[in-house]
Amino acid sequence: MTVLIPNARIAARWNGALQARLRHAPLERFLRVRGRKWAAIGDARNTDNLASATMLFVAGALESRADWSGGALTASQYRAVGQAACAVSSSLALLIQEPEHWRTAALVATARLLERQVGLSAAAHVAAAAAREFNSAVTDGSQQTEVFTIGQAARGAVESNADADAVHVMRLISARLDSAAPGPAGEPDGEGGRYGMGGSIGFTT
- Three-state secondary structure along the chain? CCCCCCCHHHHHHHHHHHHHHHHHHHHHHHHHHCCCCCCCCCCCHHHHHHHHHHHHHHHHHHHCCHHHHCCCCCHHHHHHHHHHHHHHHHHHHHHCCCHHHHHHHHHHHHHHHHHHHHCHHHHHHHHHHHHHHHHHHHHHCCCCHHHHHHHHHHHHHHHHCCHHHHHHHHHHHHHHHHHCCECCCCCECCCCCCCCCCCCCCCCC
CB 126 within 8 Å of CB 118: yes
pTM here is 0.79
pLDDT of residue 55: 96
pLDDT of residue 83: 96
pLDDT of residue 106: 97
pLDDT of residue 41: 72
Closest Cα partner for 129 from 45, 118, 156? 118
Q: 173 CB contacts (<8 Å, ≥6 apart)?
A: 57, 58, 60, 61, 62, 84, 150
pLDDT of residue 205: 31
pLDDT per residue of the chain (205 residues) written in tens, 0 to 9 = 665 555 556 544 545 544 556 677 999 999 999 999 888 777 788 999 999 999 999 999 999 887 787 777 888 999 999 999 999 999 999 999 999 999 999 999 999 999 988 999 999 999 999 999 999 998 888 888 999 999 999 999 999 999 999 999 999 999 999 998 755 433 443 333 333 333 334 433 3
The residue extents of the domains of the chain are: 8-179
pLDDT of residue 72: 79
